[in-house]
């Protein structure tokens, strides 16, 4: 997957592993991902969570015929973070014919929970060009 010029690249997200059962990624907490008060921006956490869920969703469908796109996401921001790295771990809750639902938990280096998210993806047919 080419992430050049995408939000994934802009936020410094790195995919560590990906399958239909688990996706792991990390993201720096730095000037790209902080809000003006110096804490990890909630939107950056949500972007990380949706990235993890979307990559997991792609592993649950036939990539020749289908893609997954975000339908709904929610997040609970549990703890603030000023610097370092956060790691996201996503696992599927539901793998259906028309929707895929992933839970994504984001942790700091000490494995303290920073954010928990649930993302519903729509499975859509690829359009022929």
Q: What are phi and psi of 62, to 5 degrees?
A: -80, 105
Q: What are phi and psi of 10, to 5 degrees?
A: -60, -35
Q: What are phi and psi of 48, to 5 degrees?
A: -65, -45
Q: What is the DSSP letter of 83?
A: S
Catalytic residue selected from 9, 24, 50, 64 = 50
Q: Is 50 a catalytic residue?
A: yes
The tokens for 76 are: 């609970």
SS3 content of the chain, % helix, strand, coil (to 5): 15, 45, 35
Supply the residues annotated as catalytic. Answer: 50
């Amino acid at each position: 997957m080419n992430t050049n010029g995408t939000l994934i690249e802009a936020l410094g997200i790195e995919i560590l592993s990906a399958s239909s059962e688990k996706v792991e990624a990390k993201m720096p907490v730095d000037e790209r991902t902080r809000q003006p008060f110096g804490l990890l921006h909630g939107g950056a956490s949500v972007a990380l969570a949706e990235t993890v869920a979307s990559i997991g969703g792609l592993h649950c469908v036939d990539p020749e015929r289908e893609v997954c796109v975000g339908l709904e996401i929610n997040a609970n921001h549990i703890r603030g973070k000023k610097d370092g790295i956060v790691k996201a771990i996503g696992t599927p809750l539901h793998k259906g014919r028309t929707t895929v639902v992933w839970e994504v938990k984001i942790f700091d280096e000490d494995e303290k929970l920073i954010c928990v998210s649930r993302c519903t993806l729509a499975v859509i047919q690829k359009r022929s060009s």
